[in-house]
């Protein structure tokens, strides 16, 4: 079980979401920690969002930028946030990742509008 304070300074977590046939898909993602929850900002047309709409159960572990696992896997439940909550999380993410976040915004703009979700440890 993670102490979220300990992983706050990490750059990436590997997020495991599940297809309709329960096949796991792992994606390295940026994240922020606030109020005992992990928050991930993405775009609404990505595969992970499509999978989360079908199944809110997730697993995550700290990883490097390429997805190589560094920490232990922990189970959680994802919840898609409102537009206002998403706006707040985009600001927090931009603060944590700085210039890299600006580049990511530009490169991902074809994937729809911003969407954020929280992960609560089970």
Of 21, 26, 27, the C-alpha closest to 55 is 21
For residue 48, the domain's CATH number is 2.30.110.10
Mean residue pLDDT across the chain: 95
Q: What is the reported pTM?
A: 0.95
What burial letters (b/e) apply to 70-87, b meaning 16+ CB within 10 Å?
Answer: eeeebebebeebeeeebe
What pLDDT score does 6 carry?
86
Instruction: Identify whether the C-beta of residue 116 lies closer than 8 Å to the C-beta of residue 86.
Output: yes
Express each pLDDT in 66-107 by its tens digit. Answer: 999 999 999 999 999 999 999 999 999 999 999 999 999 999
Quick one: angle between helices 99-108 and 83-97, nearest 10? 130
Instruction: Give, as one character, the DSSP assignment of residue 58.
Output: E
Give 43-77 pLDDT, tens digit per residue: 999 999 999 999 999 999 999 999 999 999 999 99
What is the total count of domains within the chain? Answer: 1
Helix %, strand %, coil % of the chain (to 5):
35, 40, 30
Torsion angle of alpha carbons 39, 44, 46, 51, nearest 10°?
70
**Could you tell me how far CA 82 lies from the centroid of its own chain?**
15
Q: Which domain holds residue 19?
A: 4-121
């Amino acid at each position: 079980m993670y102490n979220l304070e300990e992983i706050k300074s990490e750059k990436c977590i590997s997020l495991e979401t599940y297809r309709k046939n329960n096949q796991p898909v792992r994606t390295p993602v940026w994240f922020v920690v606030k109020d005992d929850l992990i928050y991930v900002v993405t775009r609404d047309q990505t595969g992970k969002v499509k999978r989360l709409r079908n199944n809110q159960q997730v697993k995550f572990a700290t990883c490097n930028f390429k997805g190589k696992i560094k920490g232990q896997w922990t189970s959680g439940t994802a919840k898609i946030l409102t537009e206002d909550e998403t706006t707040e999380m985009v600001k927090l993410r931009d603060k944590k990742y700085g210039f890299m976040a600006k580049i990511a915004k530009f490169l991902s703009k074809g994937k729809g509008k911003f969407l954020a979700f929280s992960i609560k440890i089970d």
